Chains A and B, each alone.
Chain A
Amino acid sequence: MHNRASLGLAIAIMVLAGWGTLSALAWPWKAKLFPLVIGIPLFCLAAAEALWIVFGRRGTRQAAADFQLSTDQAPEVARRRTAIAAAWTVGFFVLIVLLGFQIAVPVLVFAYLKLQGKEGWIFTTVFTAAVWAFFYGLFDLLLHLPFPPGVLLEWLG
């Protein structure tokens, strides 16, 4: 799996660097100096990584000095839960755009606790109220951060 991800990243960087280098050719030298200095070696490095994956010897995975994903779950369970997590994350963004932060925050917390956490009604309601009170008290009352009302609410007037 990590080889496929690595190949995908390498190809994406090749496309990005290639596009960047070609676009830069049309610019004045002041603007194209750095894109060319970075874009060309970046394209070559990405090509080297892609070729290494395709033609190189398959060895053990060498971990980066970075966070590692957990391997406790079976691959299919991990894939399903990853898709669920991604759906909640993107869903929250859609909720924010449609309803605005002030409504999207309690809706997300309530829905997540009820559907994903399988918590009881009372706990879910109290927890959601507490998070909303914290959100409203800190970000709206104290810090006066400007949160727009959301596209749907604006459309409804």
Chain B
Amino acid sequence: MLDALLQGLFLVLQWTTTLALMLPFIYNMQPVEAFAFLLGMHSVVATTGDVTSILFGVPGEATTAAIILDGHAMAKKGEAGRALGAALASSLVGALIGAAALALAIPIVRPLVLTFGSPELFMLAIVGLAFIASLSAQGARGMLRGFLAGGLGLFLAMVGQDPQAGVARFTLDTLYLWQGLDLVPVLVGLFAIPEIIDLVVRGTSIAGNVPAGRISHGALEGVKDVFRHWQLTIRCALIGTFVGITPGLGGAVAQWMAYGHATQSARTPEERQRFGTGDVRGVLGPGAACNSKEGGALIPTVAFGVPGSTSMAILLGGFFLLGLVPGPDMLTKHLPLTFSLVWTIVLANIITVGACFLLLNRLTALTAVPGHLLVPVILVLVFIGSYTSNSSYADIVVTLVFGAVGYFMVLAGWPRAPLVLGLVLGKIAENYLYISVARYEAAWLMRPVVLVLLAIAIGVILYPAFQAWRARARKEAHA
């Protein structure tokens, strides 16, 4: 757990690398001990990654970038304590819901997952993108920019060797780009560099001129926010669980979909404008979804032997190392072990959240440190975090390029969230689109679930327009 805490805080090693490095240590362990060891680390890394995202605007993990938008904005307003309290409490609630889903949902989820083929999974990716693109900015112009950013993300995801024909696409004749753009250097550049520039421009601490004593306060308020917005927290946790269950989508998608849903919870366009400037609901949504997806992701891994992500595939390797075969046996012969996974997630999250709360005052005090002391330290962490993705200077070049892109996007008022989601979903979406067309030709478009998902995507796009029309109608009725 200490390893997860350090890793989340210092964005150093790729999480999957650490998980793979830890595999040899489980040879001499009992299955319950082995999974407590692996899953205990894995299930809390997003929680600790939230800390750097909120305090410095530097994503500790690819799965903790969405929380920056409102979490770091709260820190800049002197509400770091409240933001951290909300993030930690919502992630605990999310983890508990994910664990409960793991315990309860296996018999229910099996038929649902089996009805999803490549066409449905492709449409699910499109729904996710439509969701965030339409909700991350105001009006038709904002939506255009949201879709532009999302399209750019999908385009950038094509960089590298194409998985079907082996063609090197958009690699600029460099070997580094053959494997595609690594998510960590891109995210670190896109989010951290504009924050660093802004910190230098302001010439103050992160929390500006807010009195130092006030910054640590409000953690309890953040915890209360979870209960004030309990329906939103639970809904976002369920979104995370569902994304976790769905093969191939992963945690980075879960948090953005939850953020999109949190934005959608605003009743009026004016209320929605508060998102991105420090609305606690923008912290609760991604916080809850990020940890609930772990329980969800274990469902297909344990019950069907189908890992939904790289880390789950490594965990599946752990099953085989211990002589266990995932599948129906896990629900009968090895049921106690399956329940031990549930308890591991619950206990690891309780202990981590408790430890973070103990350190909260010290952590939030960092937002009162003068900017000129923080900037070089953050730069060091950003460059090391980026470099260690592939141990290549090209990683840092990618960070610098995307730092410039992120800065100009912020300057132009373009949302960065759709770009990230497009980049995350691009490879998955291309794969599913290719399989759909190759197998069904155009007939995949007529599958019932595809049509339902298409209707949802259109509904998501039209919803902000409907909301604006309803607000106008109400105003006119009052006048």
Contacts and interface: CB of A to CB of B under 8 A. Distances in A.
Grouping DSSP codes into helix (H, G, I), strand (E, B) and loop, the A interface class, with mixed when no group exceeds half, is helix
B311 interface: no
Contacts of B263: 65
A122 interface: no
Contacts of B277: 63, 68
A35 B158 contact: yes
B137 interface: yes
Interface residues of B, number: 84
Contacts, number: 228
Contact of A105 (B147, B169, B380): B380
A20 interface: yes
Contact of B165 (A31, A42, A67): A31
B10 A109 contact: no
Interface in A61-83: 61-70, 72-73, 77-78, 81-82
Given A6-B412, A145-B388, A89 B373 contact: no
Interface of B: 6, 10, 12-13, 57, 68-69, 72-73, 135-139, 141-142, 144-148, 151-152, 154-155, 158, 162, 164-165, 167, 169-170, 191, 193-203, 263, 272-273, 275-277, 282, 370, 372-373, 375-377, 379-380, 383-384, 387-388, 391, 393, 396-397, 400, 403, 408-417, 429-430, 433-434, 437
Given A116-B372, A139-B384, A92 B379 contact: yes
Interface in A10-50: 10, 13, 16-17, 20, 23-24, 27-28, 30-31, 33-35, 37-39, 41-42, 45-46, 48-49
Given A45-B151, A143-B13, A33 B437 contact: yes
Contacts of B135: 65
A89 B148 contact: no
B412 A37 contact: no
Nearest to B201: A81
Contacts of B437: 33
Interface centre among B375, B376, B379 (most CB of A within 10 A): B376
8 contacts: A35-B169, A39-B155, A42-B151, A48-B144, A62-B138, A64-B146, A117-B373, A139-B384
